[in-house]
Amino acid sequence: GAVVSQHPSRVICKSGTSVKIECRSLDFQATTMFWYRQFPKQSLMLMATSNEGSKATYEQGVEKDKFLINHASLTLSTLTVTSAHPEDSSFYICSAQPSGSRQETQYFGPGTRLLVL
Amino acid sequence: GENVEQHPSTLSVQEGDSAVIKCTYSDSASNYFPWYKQELGKGPQLIIDIRSNVGEKKDQRIAVTLNKTAKHFSLHITETQPEDSAVYFCAASIPTDSWGKLQFGAGTQVVVTP
């Protein structure tokens, strides 16, 4: 149980284009999902907290207009990297918290490797 | 805010030996401490967690201990196997956050040599 999927697993795009990444909780409902970014050999950096039916909460320094988050249902959150540039290349990982459970438990997706040329 | 420090950054062990990773946290109000294993190119996998009302928890070859007074917690892996090679992250809950955010340590690269 507690399976989280991400799609796509990897994407290559041209500079200036937008990329959408989907995060789905497959066997549970998640009121809250999180989006992280991870650079090679570094820890997880929280970008934003996504709550179903409301606006996402962004961490300091993360541009909300650049990283658009939509949490339209209890099993799906999307991250759109708008006007992507090479510096946006990174490993993006989502996590989901089962609704109604102990609040803090997070289950992670497999990640999405983004390369912007 | 919460700050989590993790040591060592790298750990090499012989197969069959034990591995210990230690983390300290700064906010005494933190009450949830998960450990994640991340293999290369994959997302982190929750392997064990502990809450502040418990001092120790064990799951087969993995155990976690928590010392609330000293504000540190440790991951113990016994009888290590090559498939235990990965990066391990500790984390602590952020008490002031209502959404259940976690503060992660910097990670420990564990290499188990046959």
Among candidates A18, A92, A44, which has minimal Cα distance to B104? A44
Q: Is B35 on the interface with A (CB under 8 A)?
A: no
Q: Do B107 and A42 touch (CB under 8 A)?
A: yes
Q: Which residues of A touch B99 (CB under 8 A)?
A: 32, 49, 51, 57, 103
Confidence of residue A103 (pLDDT cuts 50, 70, 90): low
Q: Which residues of A touch B41 (CB under 8 A)?
A: 111, 113
The H-assigned helical ranges of chain B are none
Mutate to test the interface with B, among A5, A22, A34, A44 (most CBs of B within 10 A): A44
- For B31-84, the pLDDT digits (tens) are 999 999 999 999 999 999 999 888 999 999 999 999 999 999 999 999 999 999
The residue-averaged pLDDT of A33-55 equals 93
The vertex-A37 CA angle with B48 and A46, nearest 5°, equals 65
A41 sits in which H/E element: none
Q: Note the pLDDT of residue B5.
A: 98
**Strand, helix or coil at A30?**
coil
pLDDT at B77: 98
Chain A residues bordering chain B (beta-carbon distance below 8 Å): 2, 4, 6, 32, 34, 42-44, 46, 49, 51, 57, 93, 97, 102-111, 113
Residues of chain B with Cβ-Cβ distance to A6 below 8 Å are 43
Say yes or no: B29 contacts chain A, CB-CB below 8 A: no
What burial letters (b/e) apply to A39-61, b meaning 16+ CB within 10 Å? Answer: eeeebbbbbbbbbbeeebbbeee
Distance CA A1, CA A90 (A): 28
Q: Read off the pLDDT of residues A79-95 as tens digits, 9 standing for 90 and up.
A: 999 999 999 999 999 99
A49, A105, A110: residue with CB nearest B49: A105
The residue with tokens 């459970």 is A101
| % of chain A at pLDDT higher than 70 | 97
- Mean pLDDT (whole number) for A33-60: 93
